[in-house]
Structure 1
Amino acid sequence: MINILLADDHPYLRRGLSQILTDEFPGAVIGEASNVPELLEQAQKHRWDVVVLDLTMPGRGGLEGLHELKRLLPHLPVLVLSVHPEDQFAVRVLRAGGAGYLTKESAPQELVQAIKVISRGGKYITPKAAELLASHLHQHGDHDQPLHSSLSDREDQVFRLIAGGSTITEIADQLSLSIKTVSTYRTRILEKLNLKTNADLARYAVQHHLVE
């Protein structure tokens, strides 16, 4: 028997994933969480073999949740299942201690295979993610490394929201931060990227394929 915790804010997606997993793993215990606080509570309340985590959730995002989860339960394997392409987040997830990264466009069979590998203590890294990770390691400390690679996970999150057109107030509400804190992040981001305005941030993000 395997115990799997699904963390995603979309109930229909959780229901679909739960059906796929119960079909593949008869007798499996499937838990659900719709946000990061629920994820952390459930993770500490019961014993889980694998957590399947979405990155884009309201309030504290999945990446922040991953960091906190690994701090509390460092040996709990986490598979990130995200709408974002691998070139946007796979390296950050793996560096944060994630055991694998899949996009939501992946076939159900690949999700099942990833969970099997991860539940046995392995890591599930697609060829694309492996290529990105190798490139990151090769470029570490290299002057050719893109400026946005120096952003912290929270700075990267705020950067993408600003570049996507969200206002400081909207970002503060979404991330449960103060407007002053978000403004501070914006200032740091502009400094690290050598930019001056939100329009510059949006242009940079488009040029580097960081927003859709």
Structure 2
Amino acid sequence: MIRVLIADDQPLVRRGLALILAPEPDVEVVGEAGDGAEAVARAEALRPDVVVMDIRMPVLDGAAATAELARTLPGSRVLALSTFDMDEYVVAALRAGAYGFLPKDVSPEELIAAVRTVHTGDAVVAPRLLTRLISAYVRTPAPAARPAPLSAALDGLTPRELEIWRLLAVGLDNAEIAGELDISVSTVKNHLTGVFGKLGVRDRAQAVIAAYESGLVEAERRGA
């Protein structure tokens, strides 16, 4: 069973999410929370596998709650939700350790699939949606301002790893990267494992953020 905690400041939204998830034979909704602080406290008590977390909540916002859970309960993986596709809080949540992001208007089937995917430890942010979010809210630092760990990682990556990381950051999935480079999907996965290890990131979402922060790819300027 996938134990799920639902955190949202709107009771009707919590009820709706529970009604979608509870009938699934492999999902158990173990609790609800109305703000970020309550979400952390309930997670500590209930130890859910997945926390479906609204990003904008009172007392403690979803990003801050995600960061606290990533620090204290890494086994409780966060799936962040937002009313807005382009929301700076989404990037903050991914930085904080969320395993994925979905807009609240996704279909019930997409929500259920995302919960299952997050439970396995994989990211569920659509590559192109993630790229739009990063492009809107992450600003590329000047080379001299690159974080030291990222500068070291750039030096340690092979040319092939750099190219695969770049293609990932501009929105290609594994199959598209394989087609672009004329290699197998399994080879792409192997290279990405090496990239993640050298960068010290957990998943695709954090790897994309690191690509923008390092200057490997440049963010679009809003209004350009």
- The TM-score with structure 1 as length reference comes to 0.60
The equivalent residue for 1:163 is none
RMSD (Å), alpha carbons: 2.8
1:134, CA displacement in angstroms? 6.6
Q: For residues 129 and 41 of structure 1, do their structure 2 counterparts lie closer, same or farther at Cα, with a shift above 3 Å needed?
A: same
For 2:26 and 2:97, the matched residues in 1 are separated by 28
| Deviation by residue 1:56-100 (Cα, 9 ceiling, x = unmatched) | 112221111111221211232100011122453332221111000
1:7, CA displacement in angstroms? 0.5
Q: For residues 129 and 96 of structure 1, do their structure 2 counterparts lie closer, same or farther at Cα, with a shift above 3 Å needed?
A: farther
Number of residue equivalences: 146
Structure 1 gaps, min length 5: 144-206
1:114, CA displacement in angstroms? 0.7
For 2:86 and 2:25, the matched residues in 1 are separated by 27
1:34, CA displacement in angstroms? 0.7
The equivalent residue for 1:120 is 120
Structure 1 contact 86–128 (Cα < 8 Å) conserved: no
Which consecutive segments of 4 or more residues in structure 1 shift more than 4 A? 133-136
Alignment map for 1:73-112 (pairs within 5 Å): 73-86=73-86, 88-112=88-112
Structure 2 gaps, min length 5: 144-220
Q: For residues 78 and 45 of structure 1, do their structure 2 counterparts lie closer, same or farther at Cα, with a shift above 3 Å needed?
A: same
Q: For residues 62 and 139 of structure 1, do their structure 2 counterparts lie closer, same or farther at Cα, with a shift above 3 Å needed?
A: closer
Q: For residues 93 and 132 of structure 1, do their structure 2 counterparts lie closer, same or farther at Cα, with a shift above 3 Å needed?
A: farther
Structure 2 contact 62–93 (Cα < 8 Å) conserved: no
Q: Percentage identity across aligned positions?
A: 38
- The TM-score with structure 2 as length reference comes to 0.57
The equivalent residue for 1:11 is 11
Do residues 53 (structure 1) and 53 (structure 2) align?
yes
1:23, CA displacement in angstroms? 2.0
The equivalent residue for 1:193 is none
AA in 2 matched with 1:130: L
- Residue aligned with 1:98, SS: coil
Do residues 68 (structure 1) and 83 (structure 2) align?
no
